[in-house]
Amino acid sequence: MADPFAVKDCALIAMGTGERAQNLRELRDRILTVHPGCIYHHFWGGLLKPRFDEPEFQNDFAAWSYHGLREARLAERLALIDPCEFSEIEDLRRELVEVIEERLAESEFVPWARADQQFYFTRSQIVVLDTDLRPREPSALQALIPKLSVGSVFYHFIDARRRTSSRRDDFSEWLLGLDRVCQPLVDALGEIDPYFSTLTELRSEIDRAFKRFALGEGEACRVL
């Protein structure tokens, strides 16, 4: 019998690095050398940061290009980088540099930000907590999904992608380890785009995916 699903929660604490950029060339240079946690934080950390449901830009690099450098063209290109497409943070770093280099090559001058609008590289430490919740059956997990904290959603659906060798979310990993066929639900979870949603929206999408399948004890997942 498979282990029960261990529901975890998490809290992030932001850390300064002392690294900053005031123009596009500096941004490129810093991106080349900063701690990989900075790249991760500026793409994903926003989900647990103060912001509104529909931010203009999903990552901090795009937002700064627009607001700090007044570079709308670059902001649009950076905003389109989807971190889910990169299994390694170093690949994501290279893509970022590529997009910035392209803009530098086509610009006649290096865009600058005001002194009080510099880009500050930050990263975060994650503290993972055990909630002691241990659903044994998919149906029991399904019942918990609507009540999960945003920290739990972040941990199991976002953070999981850098922890698991398959780069999948924790729910899918667990379902695949059960002695029954949950592939349809795993496929449905895999179709959820985690990048362009808030954590509460993500929780609703996960909940909907679970609800589309019958998860009775001992039976295979099937579409309702």
Partner 1 sequence: MPGTLNEYAAIVGEDVIGHLRQLARGLEGCKVVHVNSTREGGGVAEILHWLIPLKRELGLDASWEVIMGDEPFFQCTKSFHNALQGKSVSISESLLRGYEDCNRKNAEHLREQLESADFVVIHDPQPAPLLNFCPNRKGKWIWRCHVDVSRPYRPVWKYLREHVQGYDASIWSLAEFAQPMPHPIYLIPPSIDPLAEKNRDLPQYELEAVRNQFGLDPQRPMIVQISRFDRFKDPVGVIRAYKLARKFTPLQLVLAGGGATDDPEGAKVYTEVREASGNDSDIHVLLLPNDAHRTVNALQRLTDIAVQKSVREGFGLTVTEAMWKGRAVIGGDTGGIRLQVINHHTGFLVNTPEGAALRIRYLLKHRDQLEIMGRKARQFVLENFLLTRHLREYLTLMLAVVHQTMDRIEL
Q: Applying CB under 8 A, does 9 fall inside the site for partner 1?
A: yes
Among 23, 58, 65, 122, binds partner 1 (CB under 8 A): 122
| Residue 131 lies near partner 1 (rule: CB under 8 A) | yes
Half-sphere exposure of 134 (CA within 13 A, CB side): 5
104 interacts with partner 1 by CB under 8 A: no
Count Cα neighbours of 130 within 13 Å in the Cβ-side half-sphere.
4
Q: Which stretch binds partner 1 (CB under 8 A): 26-34, 121-129, 166-174, 188-196?
A: 121-129
| Residue 50 interacting with partner 1 (CB under 8 A) | yes
Task: Please report whether residue 6 would count as binding partner 1 according to CB under 8 A.
Answer: no
204 touches partner 1 by CB under 8 A: no
CB of 104: closest distance to partner 1 in angstroms?
A: 24
Task: Establish if 14 lies at the interface with partner 1 (CB under 8 A).
Answer: yes
| Residue 52 in the binding site for partner 1 (CB under 8 A) | yes
Answer for which of 149, 183, 198, 204 binds partner 1 (CB under 8 A) is 149
Q: How many CB atoms lie within 10 A of CB 94?
A: 14
Q: Which residue, 162 or 212, is less far from partner 1 as judged by CB?
A: 162
Q: Would you count residue 37 as binding partner 1 (CB under 8 A)?
A: yes
Distance between CA atoms of 208 and 142, rounded to whole angstroms?
10
Binding site for partner 1 (CB under 8 A): 9, 11-18, 37, 50, 52, 116, 118, 120, 122-123, 125-131, 149, 151
